[in-house]
Amino acid sequence: MIVNGKAYRTVWMEDDTVYMINQLRLPHTFEIVALPDHRATAVAIRDMWVRGAGAIGAAAGYAMAQVALEAPRGVGFAAYVQQGAATIRATRPTAQDLFYAVSRVLAAIEGAPDAESARQAAVRTAQMLADENAAAGEAIGRYGAVLMHDGCRVLTHCNAGWLAFVDWGSALAPIYAAHREGKRVFVYVDETRPRSQGAKLTAWELANEGVPHTIIADNAAGFFMQRGEVDLCIVGSDRIAANGDIANKIGTFEKAVVAHEMGIPFYVAAPTSTIDPACPSGESIPIEERSQEEVLYAEGLLDDGQSGRVRIAPAGSAARNPAFDVTPARYITAIITERGIFKPGDILQALD
């Protein structure tokens, strides 16, 4: 990740402290926050200081390492670890990478012969997970860049780039790889209401990388596809079911349907850690519903240069706010992973 010419990761750990880019402050303020214990890291995951499947997974892995480092010596160690794992699992229900990371670090802890070895194993495994996530993003970029010709016009939704991974990202990784190869790539950035991760985060990333782009209203995507101004769509995923159905940011499903109608390839980019073989189809994926305030209010930079929030709906109106939707496999052209490109119905082969 390049920010003002300097390389960063989205989340990392030093000693017993987790550090991350505070995504709530972007795009107007770049801030690194320090999280001293697993409870603080869990709050950061829950309140979306960090978001995006891969970055959530890495943060959860580091939080589990913090649990092991904090746990008391003696008989209370195991109980503390189990309680810490439950706290982290309860932060976000949809992203499979979170549960994958907690399970990996927990297995390392439980497989150690003593508490001190368990602490070391937890830290080592959490760091391994973060490194694997960054490497997966880079590999997804290599595979996906082949799909983009010189002059390619790409539509993406939400943020599945640097900030959604430890590095590189999923949906944006092929764009970065193609751009660095010298291909001319142009990106239509869906604003992605209600939290506007596209307008705030994806556009910020693309600007730092120097990739030409423009922000469009969510409801404008079909307009540009219908006019023949989009060559392909690429999105990330928070969970992939065994049959190839995927859960991603709300609004993904309707983009996939329109792309299918227009004959435009619709790709999903995600690491194999996002695949949930125990989930038979999208109907079994739990969908997080967030606070109605995210819909009723908008946050940003006010005319006086200060950050603020304004209500955009009538005082007496309520709102529903599902954070994700499910796109059936039949609307997905292929899924790009760090192990290659697979048809949705063959996605479990990526785990072999």
* From 218, 238, 245, 325, the catalytic residue: 238
Contacts of 146 (CB under 8 A, 6+ apart): none
pLDDT at 4 over 90: no
> Alpha helix (H) ranges present in the chain?
38-46, 53-70, 76-89, 96-110, 115-145, 173-180, 197, 203-209, 221-226, 252-262, 293-296
Number of neighbours of residue 226 by Cβ within 10 angstroms: 13
pLDDT interval class at 247 (50, 70, 90): very high
pLDDT, residue 93, reads 87
pLDDT, residue 51, reads 92
Pair 266, 255: CB distance under 8 Å: yes
pLDDT interval class at 6 (50, 70, 90): confident
Nearest to 351 by CA among 256, 255, 242, 202: 242
pLDDT, residue 180, reads 96
Please give the domain boundaries of the chain with CATH numbers for all domains.
Answer: 2-138 (1.20.120.420), 142-351 (3.40.50.10470)
Tell me the C-alpha distance between 81 and 83, whole Å. Answer: 5
pLDDT interval class at 261 (50, 70, 90): very high
pLDDT at 3 over 90: no
Tell me, yes or no, if 238 is annotated catalytic: yes
What would the pLDDT profile of 278-328 be if each residue is shown by its tens digit?
999 999 999 999 999 999 999 888 999 888 999 999 999 999 999 999 999
Backbone angles phi, psi at 186, to 5 degrees: -120, 135
pLDDT at 81 over 90: yes
Q: Which of the pair, 131 or 3, is modelled with greater confidence?
A: 131
Mean pLDDT for the chain overall: 95
Pair 289, 258: CB distance under 8 Å: no
